Structure 1
């Protein structure tokens, strides 16, 4: 549910790299290292990401990432998402050699039946790119719902955007992966507090921020050696932005009555990009 028009979530998280290292969700250990000197030229091309459900969401889809130099064309077709609701989506992972991947049910450390955002981050890493429909694409826009795609009445999302990425992202594109957020655990087709409060802000329901699907680039595998080798550390939730930073945006998810208007605005914004 979205509140009145001006509400927005301006920050998802600002977790330092140390938060999301493999210690909290151990990745396979490796020996040796890969040279990144050839990577920029080698990574130009198209890569398929098969999005698979997390948290029993029923969501699935395909993302196609086409890299030409530093221009990344992202196309996503997804189904099974919460109808009429905004779905934050990002490219997660490391450009510094950390081995991240999609989480499984074992990431649910408090055994509440939901892998929350904070529980999933040690597996899939911090945000590299926010897949907004226009404007800023940094992690600061991670939950700016006014610029995230809204699922249609059938729970489908179609998204396409060309984003100019950093050279590090271009060089390490195979180390990254796509995550979509927003689940409906009790089948009432909206975000509510059925699974309690989000750890990002107690004003937000867990359903609004929990991951719904995740996919790795075809050819990448759990435990694969990222360019630059694997670094290890310990994970946790330290580094999540203070709840006050998100307070203004909480109303954007919890308020009633403006969802239809937002959906129309989002569709118009998406049409303007085509």
Structure 2
């Protein structure tokens, strides 16, 4: 069994099904050649939000599972897979991308960092980029500010080939701490003056694979594109997953050693091997 971590990317292979069942993911997708990736969501705009995303690919079927906390209670959160499937690299932004210095990292300011919307993570219907602000089909946070989302969608081969180049962004902040989106918190949205900036500003971001700074974005600004700050918060849910995985690994190693010790005349080999 191999557990490989690279930056914020976690590639998991040959993990016992029980580990994935704790996340609501089924083992068969991996057993039949599927791939799974974990993303850690970290706050933007000092939102206090954090979370974990699991992406599971089986053929052209992509299952997206998100559990995030620190969202605005009772409010919908636009959420998307951002980035490029054409060879351009993007990354989660930081506070320095607030170019107008108003204290709010807007979608427009962030788009050059995390790229256009590739997939709108709606609860039903289409997942096109043009559905990026269709809040009627976006998940709503519960009274504790938690969002739990799971959906399986068909994706193109370009997404399958470049899944590591995409990342997740959720939107919606509460600047004046009144537990709703309003114009008093941060004014009007630059995407639609009929919407408050609080409703469209990014609240968190997580990278599937870190991207190079300074890459040229593909296309224009997509609705919902925003600027997440560089993740700096450790994610408890992620750590729980890591502990579960490491426990499974440790258990397998100990079991293997016990079995080896039980075989008369057999010596345990240490160090590297083929």
Q: Which of 47, 53, 56 is the equivalent residue of 2:43?
A: 53
Offset, 1:221: 2.1
Q: Distance in 1 between matches of 2:51 and 2:72?
A: 14
Offset, 1:124: 0.3
CA gap 1:129/1:53 in 2 versus in 1, 3 angstroms: same
Corresponding residue for residue 195 of structure 2: 204
Q: Which of 47, 69, 86 is the equivalent residue of 1:96?
A: 86
Matched, 1:110 2:94: no
**Residues 116, 218 of structure 2: 8 Å contact kept:** no
TM-score by length of structure 2 reads 0.66
Offset, 1:105: 0.6
Offset, 1:146: 1.0
**Residues 54, 104 of structure 1: 8 Å contact kept:** yes
**Residues 197, 203 of structure 1: 8 Å contact kept:** yes
SS of 2:186's equivalent in the other structure is: coil
**Mapping of residues 5-24 of structure 1, within 5 Å:** none
CA gap 1:56/1:73 in 2 versus in 1, 3 angstroms: same
State how many pairs are aligned: 190
Q: Flag structure 1 segments of 5+ consecutive residues without an equivalent.
A: 1-42, 225-229, 242-274
Offset, 1:233: 6.5
Offset, 1:53: 0.4
TM-score by length of structure 1 reads 0.66
Offset, 1:239: 5.5
Relative contact order, higher structure (CA 8 A, sep 6+)? 1
Matched, 1:223 2:207: no
Corresponding residue for residue 216 of structure 2: 232
Matched, 1:127 2:111: no
Offset, 1:133: 0.6
Q: Flag structure 2 segments of 5+ consecutive residues without an equivalent.
A: 1-32, 224-274
Offset, 1:232: 3.0
**Mapping of residues 175-190 of structure 1, within 5 Å:** 175-190=165-180
Show CA shifts across 1:179-206 (max 9, x none): 0000001111000112111001111110
SS of 1:168's equivalent in the other structure is: helix
CA gap 1:176/1:234 in 2 versus in 1, 3 angstroms: closer
**Residues 78, 158 of structure 1: 8 Å contact kept:** yes
**Residues 47, 65 of structure 1: 8 Å contact kept:** yes
75-84 or 137-146: bigger deviation: 137-146
